[in-house]
């Protein structure tokens, strides 16, 4: 695989290499105006690495065919979507699942979500969220496992295992994305994207305890 990728990189222009970093959001799960224009043309030119928030098989297949049939180097796209607590089958929110302390059950929910997402053509999920949440005002508390770093770590481990199933070559597996490590959940006043007032002592005692 390393040799294959190396040979492919040698064939790529600088523009094509930069294009692999371009991940436009063109799907249905977007609020406000969609700013990604001319995406299909860019895909044909090999200037897109992946597409976010497109999750129906018809849309995925259409864009993937452009990449592997029309682009110069036939590099397939990666498709990413927020499969946070299920895909077609909806499970309790991560905060609710974590309250069970049943990591085996949590792993199975992620495995089911991965199987359904892969069937829709997805290859990447923006989950699990590993932020430690200790301010109930923060609007994303429900996405994580709560306030305890140990529990958060165990839940994250189970979800990654469920999504990836030990082998990303498995057609029912998808790539996990552990986010937003670390201390993103410590935003001041619970305001998303706000600044964080964090001492070294607090960081290690509350958010990054030694293992």
Q: Are 94 and 145 in contact (CB under 8 A)?
A: yes
Asked if 189 and 90 sit in the same domain, the reply is: yes
Asked if 111 and 192 sit in the same domain, the reply is: yes
Asked if 74 and 86 sit in the same domain, the reply is: no
Q: Are 105 and 158 in contact (CB under 8 A)?
A: no
Domain that holds residue 37: 1-79
Tell me, what's the pLDDT at 2? 87
For position 179, which CATH number holds? Answer: 3.20.20.300
Interval 69-90: pLDDT, tens: 999 999 999 999 999 999 999 9
> Cβ atoms within 10 A of the Cβ of 92, count?
15
32 Ramachandran zone, left/alpha/beta (phi>0; psi -120 to 50) = left
User: Full-prediction pTM beyond 0.85?
Assistant: yes
Asked if 32 and 97 sit in the same domain, the reply is: no
Cα 51 from Cα 39, distance rounded (Å): 9
Residue 31 pLDDT > 80: no
Asked if 59 and 156 sit in the same domain, the reply is: no
For residue 76, give the nearest of 101, 104, 48, 116 by alpha carbon: 48
What's the number of domains the chain is made of?
Answer: 2
Residue 65 pLDDT > 70: yes
Tell me, what's the pLDDT at 209? 72
Asked if 49 and 115 sit in the same domain, the reply is: no
Over range 31-49, report the average pLDDT.
Answer: 82
Give the domain-ending residue among 30, 64, 79.
Answer: 79
Over range 19-47, report the average pLDDT.
Answer: 81
Q: Which residues pair with 51 in a beta bridge?
A: 79
């Amino acid at each position: 695989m390393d040799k294959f990728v190396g040979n492919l990189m040698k064939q790529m222009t600088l523009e094509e290499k930069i294009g692999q970093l371009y991940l436009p959001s063109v799907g249905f799960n977007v609020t406000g105006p969609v700013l990604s224009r001319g995406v299909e043309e860019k895909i044909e030119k090999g200037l897109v690495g992946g597409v976010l928030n497109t999750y129906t098989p018809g849309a995925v297949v259409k864009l993937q065919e452009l990449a592997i049939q029309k682009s110069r180097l036939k590099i397939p796209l990666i498709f990413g979507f927020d499969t946070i607590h299920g895909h077609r089958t909806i499970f309790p929110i991560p905060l609710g699942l974590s309250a069970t302390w049943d990591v085996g059950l949590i792993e199975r929910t992620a495995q089911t979500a991965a199987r359904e997402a892969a069937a829709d053509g997805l290859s990447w999920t923006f989950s699990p969220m590993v932020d430690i949440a200790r301010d109930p005002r923060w609007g994303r508390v429900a996405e994580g496992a709560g306030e305890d770093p140990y529990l958060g770590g165990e839940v994250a481990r189970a979800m990654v295992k469920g999504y990836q199933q030990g082998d990303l070559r498995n057609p029912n597996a998808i790539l996990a994305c552990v986010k937003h490590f670390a201390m993103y959940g410590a935003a001041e006043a619970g305001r998303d994207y706000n600044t964080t007032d964090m001492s070294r002592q607090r960081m290690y005692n509350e958010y990054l305890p030694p293992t």
